[in-house]
Chains A and B, each alone.
Chain A
Amino acid sequence: MKLLLKGGRVVDPARGVDGPADVLIDGDRIAEVGRDLPAGDAVVREVPRGAIVCPGLIDMHVHLREPGQEHKETVATGTAAAVAGGFTSVACMPNTDPVNDSASVTRLIIDRARAAGLARVYPIGAVSRGSKGEQLAEIAELREAGCVAVSDDGRPVASALLMRRVLEYTSMFGMPVIDHCEDPSLKGDGVAHEGPAASRLGLRGIPGIAEELMVERDITIAGITTGRVHIAHLSTAGSLRAVRAGKARGIAVTCEVTPHHFTLTDEVLEGYDTNVKMNPPLREAADVEALIGGLADGSVDVIATDHAPHHHDEKFVEFDKAPFGILGLETAVALTFDRLVHRGHLSTTRAIALLSTNPARVLNVPGGTLAPGTPADITILVPDLEVTIDPARSRSLSRNTPFGGWRLRGGVAATIVGGRVVYVNDEVAGAAALAEPPPAGIAAR
């Protein structure tokens, strides 16, 4: 079956395209992008007024919690949240129970994702067995089973020697090593950014340098290997300085920033809401400003959400007892457009590069472009859509977001994975038509 998406503004950062165009999908591939394409034998669908048609968004940092913590999230619910948030692909971190340090866990995740039939799921394997930071995991086998990167996320790779070894070892596969940068001794039992807000509230601090030291270390180590290091959820101005300097020296370092780190500061700790407790912690205004600068000038490669579902019971406890982390998949587009694009910090092209083109490049996975012949993973965005974040309507199994009640401008109209419309937003006029079955006489292939 062919599907012709008509009347949209096509933004494809990979090919420098931004303008009115139609997109012709043939089966699960993109066939053609251009102005006023003839319908031929395709089913024609008008995209909603004011919509942007762009390569499917890719969230390279999520926690799907399966196997082992299915009360927080499953591959099915996590990918439902992903497509509702405009993400056609997610890469899931290995800190499941058991840890994804073996092909059997990787295959289970991939099987569950296939059964769910929503977003593509790219598992990330562990750096070390059990993510214990000692013995390397069997990375070749993980890769063979479908892992696209390795990380001990949730924990840093504490040993400099292990970081060196894994960067050397993975270089033969071209896989990135994703590091959760944090010096364990400096983090201690901290629960919030070390600064005036935590001091006032009596919360144990996690200093910015706990992250910065390890970012510097990783970049230095990467400099003597041919491996690629990707800094997860970079949160401070100092870390960004280190990444800029590393890139200037030609070192293969990339980094991501989360929507909450470019939106919130540690001032929101007042009130002790555990939905503002995450790791790395929310930093200070100067850090937020620096991160936005890095997103704008290209020093930051990727916007990733660190989607970290936790059950209400786990979060409804004393601040220092609550687990770190918040949901991210369904709020990323709204926050990116409202806070970055509409405020003039980023062009639409740059925002989509951060959410699609660049994560595809970092993970070396298909997508991130609308080039003919590539998978028909497409997100249809409505940058001017007024949205009110309602945690109760989340597709995730969990509700832990600090953005409940926020009114933002920017939303998702529909999400297409492999040519199939897997999500439409009923609140966008004209979106429902995208999912209508083809008229009689047109056979599905």
Chain B
Amino acid sequence: MSTTTAVTTLRSRHLLSIADLSAEEIVLLLDTADAMKEIAARPIKKVPTLRGRTIVNLFYEPSTRTRTSFEIAEKRLSADTLSISVATSSVVKGETLVDTALNLEAMQPDMIVMRHASSGAHHLLTRVCKSHVINAGDGMHEHPTQALLDAYTIREKTGRIGGLKVAIVGDLLHSRVLRSDVLLLGKLGAEVWACAPPTLIPPGLDALGVRVTTSVEEAVRDADVVMMLRIQLERMQGNFFPSLREYFNVFGMTRERVRLAKPGAIIMHPGPMNRGVEIASDVADGPASVILEQVTNGVAVRMAVLYLLAGGEDERA
């Protein structure tokens, strides 16, 4: 499924936020991911596209899925990659983000992929680095490659994004996935609904162009896509809700609630899942679930991001 697109390159040197991308650029990324996905079907899953490029994966927060996904994407494009996690780095000796970045930069990498607990940490990084910076999640702000893989998966499963009703249910307040998804799906013309208990709804969320409700039934009814967000177990201590049990009873995605969605609706989750909290196991593992396909597509989408940010050329001139 390939659409003709108006643009062939990205304007921004970095991917910090979905706000950096136009709708045309998003379509370009998704179309490029189509081509990248095909590489994974080959017996030899590797192309020389980024040969000779150095990519640093700098992870200040634990991550299994996203880090592995980036590493596989980088290796499939033949980049030289290294991954740094804070537990084994100078950060534990008190080095600041700026100093770490300046030292990495002194070794002349081409790209830095970073996950950081502070919203906006990547903006700081771009003020001291010449490398391309890719946001692999910053605090409660954004997780743009997750939104791209979500959009890719939706488009792959339903054939379109414009005009779909997408219901996002879970911890909206603390979710970077929500913010990226709302921006991206909005740009592509989806009708996005966000649902949570009032304690977990960021004030002014509707200003981002999303319909906000506390009724999971209203959110899910006639939805084409139902996406769960992780409920972090420590939120209970913050009195955002009384108990995981009560959360599941009121907001958990059960088979009964899924029946309110359109026939053929897909179930998504960015992971990691809390089974029996935001989603029932039989829904997570059921026929409508595309949760593992999201993970598969994550590699292709990240290959597309790396390729296009590198300038879209094959190897360096």
Contact = CB atoms under 8 A, between A and B. Distances in A.
B98 interface: yes
Contacts of B138: 202
A290 B97 CA distance: 39
B120 A317 contact: no
A196 B203 contact: yes
B5 interface: no
Nearest to A272: B120
Given A196-B207, A200-B208, A201-B120, A318 B140 contact: no
Contacts of B202: 198-199
Contact of B140 (A196, A197, A202): A202
Contact of A319 (B120, B142, B203): B120
A318 B207 contact: no
B217 to A, nearest CB: 25
Given A202-B140, A202-B142, A317-B96, A196 B119 contact: no
Given A196-B203, A200-B207, A318 B141 contact: no
B90 to A, nearest CB: 15
A173 interface: no
Interface residues of A, number: 21
B199 interface: no
A321 B120 CA distance: 11
B204 A320 contact: no
B121 interface: yes
Contact of B205 (A194, A199, A313): A199
B93 to A, nearest CB: 16
A315 to B, nearest CB: 11
A430 to B, nearest CB: 41
B141 A202 contact: yes
Nearest to A273: B123
B176 interface: yes
B109 interface: no
Interface string B93-106: 00011100000000
A318 B204 contact: no
Nearest to A271: B123
A184 interface: no
Interface string B134-170: 0000111110000000000000000000000000000
A161 B116 CA distance: 42
A197 B204 CA distance: 8
Contacts of A321: 118
Nearest to A284: B204
Interface string A187-224: 00000001111111111110000000000000000000
A313 B94 CA distance: 13
Contact of A202 (B98, B119, B204, B207): B119
A196 B123 contact: no
B98 A199 contact: no
B118 A320 contact: yes
Contacts of B302: none
A199 B176 CA distance: 10
B140 A317 contact: no
A320 B203 contact: no
Nearest to A317: B96
A170 B176 CA distance: 49
A319 B208 contact: no
Interface string B202-221: 11110110000000000000
A318 B203 contact: no
A306 B141 CA distance: 29
Nearest to B206: A196
Interface string A319-352: 1110000000000000000000000000000000
Contacts of B203: 194-196, 199, 205
A406 interface: no
Contacts of A203: 119-120, 140-141
B124 interface: yes
A272 B123 contact: yes
A254 to B, nearest CB: 31
A319 B205 contact: no
Contacts of A272: 119-120, 123-124
B119 A201 contact: yes
Contacts of A202: 119-120, 138-142, 176, 179
A319 B204 CA distance: 21
A199 B203 CA distance: 6
A317 B204 contact: no
Contacts of B208: 199-200
Contact of A317 (B124, B176, B207): B124
Contacts of A316: 96, 98, 124
A395 B129 CA distance: 30
A319 B118 CA distance: 7
A320 B207 contact: no
Contacts of B176: 202
26 contacts: A196-B207, A197-B204, A199-B207, A199-B208, A200-B208, A201-B141, A202-B120, A202-B139, A202-B140, A202-B141, A202-B142, A202-B176, A203-B140, A203-B141, A205-B203, A316-B96, A316-B98, A316-B124, A318-B118, A318-B120, A318-B121, A318-B124, A319-B118, A319-B124, A320-B118, A321-B118
Interface of A: 194-205, 271-272, 313, 316-321
Given A202-B140, A316-B96, A316-B124, 8 more contacts: A200-B179, A201-B120, A201-B141, A202-B120, A203-B140, A204-B140, A272-B120, A318-B124
